Structure 1
């Protein structure tokens, strides 16, 4: 069986997956980038304060997302001629422990994120829905405070294939493979001026043992730019940029002309309380999408010190 036939055989029966620190999506189609056209990281998760590590202590965070897409784009960036609908709702609790330990001059922290996913997809009249725990993310990080306004976090996250997966199902809430993700995040925070955040990530995807499919490596970044109003509020824009850097492989052979690409942007706000908690919210519209679903997402992030 050649590679093209192998991929077409799994059409619409590969994973339509979603997991994290929020939603991961994909739809099984031979033209799509990465397995199922999805990623282990939900693009656009982060917002303001992504690179500002808090003082030592325990923190609870929650990422909430609603995502919907009615287009599935091919390699030319145009919508494929199929009836496609995807709806995803995610609540992803995240627990952060910033220790008293210093490593290489930075504050050591450990994190765990456990996404709870409700995912529904319809393709040409056939639909399926799954609910449950997605792929858990565990990580360790070092935080630096270069000045009272400029901060940075350097981390390594590991995405664990804990979500439900069956290669014969249309919808899955797990990717069924491990991924390792180096992270560099930066925040410039001014309560009465410019605020800039950038979280850059690079994904090394392992092979799915049930399908012998290895998704290509992925480079992506979440960003936010805004202006502080000197009353706890910041208003601006946020989104993400994504590109797949290497080809997928199936049975050890490269899959050509199916690399993913996307960009998203939309309005974003943040409110920081005098009590130490903060909340961010944004809407982002995807555009310039290739080999992936194209849609819109609503995000809320809440961080509370224990």
Structure 2
């Protein structure tokens, strides 16, 4: 019974550990941790223990969105690979589960309008310093079912640590050279399917809302404005399969600054909406639960950022 419950939650580990690859504002091509990176089961935590995820993929950059939402041709790509670790503590807090995570990865990024430039190497470290999840089971919840009918609530604090390579006279850069502090809240609601029976056993709605504060880059005296971002997924669960639509949206709230002065061009405020399909599969090998997920996101609209499309793969399990 314990393994059945575990496998229904393994993909939440990967959702916590996956990286983001949207290009934001003027300096950073790798905004903090889970921006754009959470999707299904994003407010759930697995039982106490240690968990890991491997992530890989690539994105094509084909446009640059101007401040009025119009786009121009651009060129570039991002290839990435990494691993993440999640520790779920034995202790509880206010009847909820608590955890911390750490992500390490490497990437190659290339971008340009008329001339393409590249950088590659180890990227910034991301950590969910603190994560808290409370699950309220529904009346039809059963510990013997792989589907966790009910509602999970999430509160977390993310931190992007500027350990990646950065040079102020180079664009793009793998590293950001500034800290990002990201308090966030989330919810995952799983209910009997709202679609015809052939579409699956359950419907899941997940969302995470982040507030991102960026410190000033000490080498350039540049500081990006606050960003609010929303990750979301609406999916169907059918046996070990889960499929549906996922996406991410973010909006910058205030102007970027240089040497403490607001920038022109509307403050270089960035915004983006990306959506696409998602497919996930739960399975066991020698009694150990795994979750394999693939999603393809495409930018639908943006301002002062790049338009991207690409595939992300991840595999998560208990260690």
**TM-score bucket of the superposed structures, by smaller chain:** 0.7 to 0.9
Task: State the Cα distance separating 1:284 from its structure 2 match.
Answer: 1.3
Find the counterpart in structure 2 of residue 68 from structure 1: 60
Paired position in structure 1 for 2:222: 213
Say if 2:117 is the partner of 1:128: yes
SS in 1 for 2:133: strand
Match of 1:89 among 79, 88, 113: 79
CA contact (8 A) 2:61 2:111 kept: no
Quick check: 1:64–1:301 contact (8 Å CA) kept in 2? Answer: yes
Selected match of 2:270 from 257, 260, 275:
260
Gaps in structure 1 of 5+ consecutive residues: 1-19, 27-31
Which residue number corresponds to residue 200 of structure 1? Answer: 209
Q: Distance in 2 between matches of 1:67 and 1:263?
A: 15
Tell me if 1:279 matches 2:276.
no
Matched, 1:269 2:270: no
Are positions 1:145 and 2:135 aligned together? Answer: yes
1:225-244 paired onto structure 2 within 5 Å: 225-229=234-238, 231-244=239-252
The answer to whether the 8 Å contact 2:32/2:126 transfers is: no
Per the alignment, residue 160 of structure 2 pairs with 159
Deviation of residue 159 (structure 1)? Answer: 0.5
- TM score, norm. by length of structure 1: 0.85
Offset at residue 269 of structure 1 (A): 1.3
2:247·2:297 contact (CA, 8 Å) conserved in 1?
yes
Please name the residue that 2:9 is paired with: none
Distance in 2 separating the partners of 1:251 and 1:91: 35
Query: Which position in structure 2 is the counterpart of 1:52?
Result: 44
- Matching residue of 1:249: 257
The CA deviation at 1:243 is 0.6
**1:172, CA displacement in angstroms?**
0.9
1:101 aligns with 2:91: yes
Residue of structure 2 equivalent to 1:291: 304
How many residue pairs were aligned?
278
For the residue of structure 2 that corresponds to 1:137, the secondary structure is strand
Per-residue displacement from partner, 1:8-63 (whole Å, max 9, x unpaired)? Answer: xxxxxxxxxxxx8424454xxxxx83535763346421221211100000000123
Structure-2 change in CA distance of 1:57 and 1:36 (3 Å)? closer
- How far did residue 109 of structure 1 move? 0.7
Query: Structure 2 CA distance, aligned partners of 1:189 and 1:115?
Result: 32
The two structures have a TM-score, normalised by structure 2, of 0.81
Aligned to 1:78: 70
1:213-242 Cα shifts (integer Å, max 9, x gaps): 11000011111111111x211121111111
Taking structure 1 as reference, are residues 186 and 241 closer, same or farther at Cα in structure 2, changes over 3 Å only? Answer: same
* SS of the residue 1:46 aligns to: coil
Report what 2:140 is aligned to: none
**CA offsets 1:137-170 (integer angstroms, 9 cap, x no match):** 1222112111142222211011100000001112
The two structures, once aligned, show a CA RMSD in angstroms of 2.0
